[in-house]
Structures are given as C-alpha cells and as structure tokens.
C-alpha cells in the first residue's frame, strides 16, 4: 500500500489548535519564544518578546518579532496561527 501524503491544508489533516494560558506558570514556561524567553506578548498576527528586544538593544542579532512559539516539552515549533490564548 502506498502512503498518502498530505500538505496539512485540509481540515482532516491539519494539526490541532494549542491553547495556552499565560497566567498558568506551567504554560508560561512551557511555551517560549524561539530564543527560549517567557516574556512574550501577542500582537497582531505574531508575538513580540520584550527579552529579545533587550537582547537586540545590547547588540545581539535577534528579532523581537516571532511567528511561532516553541513547546519546551516536545521541542515542536508551533506556528502562531495554531495558538489560542485562554485566560
């Protein structure tokens, strides 16, 4: 049997939405910016990291705007479009 390859664009083969509660310390430290920082905030269609901004101001070549979060438990890069913030 030949395996069926999908591109993830159909609802049936898309990955689930990840709900993140930023007031929960477990979620806060589990889902970080790509640099591993927890001091990020939602803005428009991406996230903005205050710690990355400070790193940039001190000469590091890092952008404070990110389009995915990293699940520190699994190492998965989760696109911002799959993130739902809950309170």
Mean pLDDT to the nearest integer, 43-47: 92
Question: In 3D, which of 75, 66, 85, 79 has the Cα closest to residue 30?
Answer: 75
Q: What is the pLDDT of residue 15?
A: 86
Residue 30 lies in a domain: no
Q: Largest Cα–Cα distance in the chain?
A: 56
Q: What is the pLDDT of residue 4?
A: 67
Residue 26 lies in a domain: no
Name the pTM for this structure: 0.81
Residue 2 lies in a domain: no
Q: What is the pLDDT of residue 49?
A: 97
Name the domain count of the chain: 1
Q: What is the pLDDT of residue 1?
A: 72
Following DSSP, what letter does each residue of the chain receive, concatenated?
Answer: -PPPP--S-SGGGSPPPEEEETTSHHHHHHEE-TTS-S-EEEETTEEEEHHHHHHHHTT----SEESEEEETTT--EEEGGGEEEE-
Residue 62 lies in a domain: yes
Mean pLDDT to the nearest integer, 4-24: 80
Q: Which of 6-15, 20-29, 57-66 has the lowest mean pLDDT?
A: 6-15
Q: By the 8 A CB rule, do 27 and 20 touch? A: yes
The DSSP bridge partners found for residue 66 are 47
Residue 27 lies in a domain: no
Residue 4 lies in a domain: no
Residue 78 lies in a domain: yes
Residue 74 lies in a domain: yes
Domain housing 41: 37-87
User: What's the whole-number average pLDDT of the chain?
Assistant: 91
């Amino acid at each position: 049997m030949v395996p069926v390859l999908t591109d993830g664009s159909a609802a049936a083969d898309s990955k689930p939405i990840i709900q993140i509660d930023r007031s929960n310390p477990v979620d806060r430290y589990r889902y970080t910016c790509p640099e591993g920082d927890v001091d990020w905030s939602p803005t428009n269609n991406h996230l903005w990291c205050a710690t990355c901004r400070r790193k940039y101001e001190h000469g590091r070549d890092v952008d404070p705007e990110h389009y995915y979060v990293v699940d520190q438990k699994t190492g998965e890069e989760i696109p911002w479009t799959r993130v739902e913030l809950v309170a």
